[in-house]
Amino acid sequence: MMEPTVIQDEEHEQILERVAAVDVAKATGMVCTRVPDEARPGRRVSKVWEVPATTNAIIELGEYLAGLGIQKVTLESTSDYWRPFYYLLEAAGLDVQLVRAQDVKQAPGRPKSDKLDCVWQAKCTERGLLRPSFVPPPEIRQLRDYTRLRVDLTRERSRHAQRLEKLLEDALIKLSVVATDIMGVSGRAMIEALIAGERDPQVLAGLARGRMKVKHAALVQALTGQFDDHHGELARMLLDQYDALSGQIARLTARIEELIAAIPAARGVDAGGATGPGAGEAPDAAVRSAIARLDEIPGVGRHGAQLILAEIGLDMSRFPTAAHLASWAKLCPRTIQSGARSRGGRTGKGKPLPQGPARRGRGRRGQDRYLPRRTLPAHRQAPRQAQGPGRRRPFHPGDHLEPARRPRRHLPRPGRRLLRRPHRQGQEAQEPHPADRSAAGPPHHHHQGRLTSYRP
């Protein structure tokens, strides 16, 4: 007999007596409290009511729940509607946990309503069946808002650069074929000259800088096109949008550096022992700052380090091990083990990373999705046309799929050819008696499914 494995309960798996749950929506929230029933010892009672999702109403709710002695409040992460409830109830001194909607989904086969959902969440909370999601502290949440907006604006700026490239293609200007970055110093100077009215390819190619000078001949060919006034007007609008987004991104980057420098845990210590904003950035610092330490990792730049701090924060006690952090970041597949079989599942809710060549079709590897899927029936199984009333009837008695089985002899030699089974409509074809086969002509194989014959 194997020794049993001892598994200690985590902090969120404790059984609680006084709990509450809120099924949040855009305008309201359905609240459920579960506390011991004073009239019936050993039993519990649930109370459900609706609360508006406004600041004053949520503050009153927090005071009421604190007066009941609620030990934990559960919120379902529905869009951004959970934020007012989480922030205000946390400010009221309550222990609030945010859980995924998939974890608190109502059991199948039961009716679905907001009232039943919040009751189910409260029951799961009191039994410790819900795992809370990671919600960073307020200063990290504020930093995250800036970094995520910078990512969005950077993507939007890239879209404007792509629109400008399409506009140049419409004007028969193939600048992107020669220049790696059309928004670089050389590419920007050529586009500005085109907008200003310059059309001579030789003059435009002469604006190249640095390593672009050696591509003069290719630039002359690429800048020969039909760039007219309406192209220049549209390019001017796109460049103005590009510059405006670049300015906003620069402002966000400066603000992000200020916020990180204001966090004491992110600061370093200089060689002289001084600490404060900007300390720990020098190579000889006693303790490097958090950004400088992350910047030393290959593949992680300064902007990447800022994103990491904004997403996971500085308090690593939320993640017991490095494996927990990698799992939370959806960098490793979850384990699926049943019996002797063990495999890896998807990394979170999204699709896994592609492994090897892409698979075509819906089911089988390498099967073209545009070709019909025709499966042979199993051994001693009736043809598909005869498996049910919904199947189509065969055109003639010989039109059916032969049962799949292993052939009893080798494939036919080049001197043989495949013959189609004759149509048996009206009179059946007369076949010679087995004893007279030698006189009837070339030998035939009468095994079921054998359609080969010798060719004289």
Q: What is the pLDDT of residues 316-339, one digit of tens each?
A: 888 888 888 888 887 887 778 887
Instruction: Summarize the confidence of residues 282-296 as an average pLDDT.
Output: 81
pLDDT for residue 363: 42
Distance of alpha carbon 97 from alpha carbon 23, whole angstroms: 13
Categorize the per-residue pLDDT at 291 as very low, low, confident or very high, splitting at 50, 70 and 90. Answer: confident
| Residues 117-140, mean pLDDT to the nearest whole number | 86
pLDDT for residue 368 is more than 50 = no
- Residue 121's CATH number: 3.30.420.10
Q: State whether 25 and 113 are in the same domain.
A: yes
Is residue 268 in some structural domain?
yes
Asked if residues 223 and 190 have their Cβ atoms less than 8 Å apart, the reply is yes
Q: Judge contact between 135 and 83, C-beta under 8 A.
A: no
Model pLDDT, residue 130: 85
360 within some domain: no
Same domain? 162 vs 236: yes
Asked if residue 213 belongs to a domain, the reply is yes
Q: What is the pLDDT of residue 236?
A: 94
Strands (E), 169-271: none
Q: What is the arithmetic mean of pLDDT over 180-185?
A: 90
Q: Is the pLDDT of residue 220 over 70?
A: yes
Among 325, 353, 377, the domain-final residue is 325
Q: Are residues 68 and 120 in the same domain?
A: yes
Domain coverage including residue 306 = 264-325
Q: Are residues 197 and 101 in the same domain?
A: no
Beta-carbon contacts of residue 295 (< 8 Å; ≥ 6 apart): 301, 302, 305
**329: which 2 tokens?**
């970041």
pLDDT at 431 over 90: no
Percent of residues, the chain, with pLDDT higher than 90 = 27
Q: Which one, of 441, 436, 434, lies nearest residue 455 by Cα?
A: 441
Angle separating helix axes 185-196 and 229-261, nearest 10 degrees:
140
Judged by average pLDDT, the poorest of 140-149, 287-296, 353-362, 419-428 is 353-362
Q: Using CA atoms in the order 397, 403, 404, 408, what is the torsion angle rounded to 10 degrees?
A: -90
Mean pLDDT in residue range 247-263: 92
What is the band of 254 on the pLDDT scale with cuts at 50, 70, 90?
very high
Which residues lie below 8 Å from residue 120, measured CB to CB, with a gap of 6+? 104, 106, 107
**318 in the Ramachandran plot: left (φ > 0), alpha (ψ -120 to 50) or beta?**
alpha
- pLDDT computed for residue 145 by the predictor: 92
Query: 43: which 2 tokens?
Result: 């039993």
Q: Looking at the DSSP assignment, which residues form a beta bridge with residue 193?
A: none
206 and 278 part of one domain: no
CA atoms within 13 A on the CB side of 95: 11
How many domains would you assign to the chain? 3
What's the distance, CA 316 to chain centroid? Answer: 25
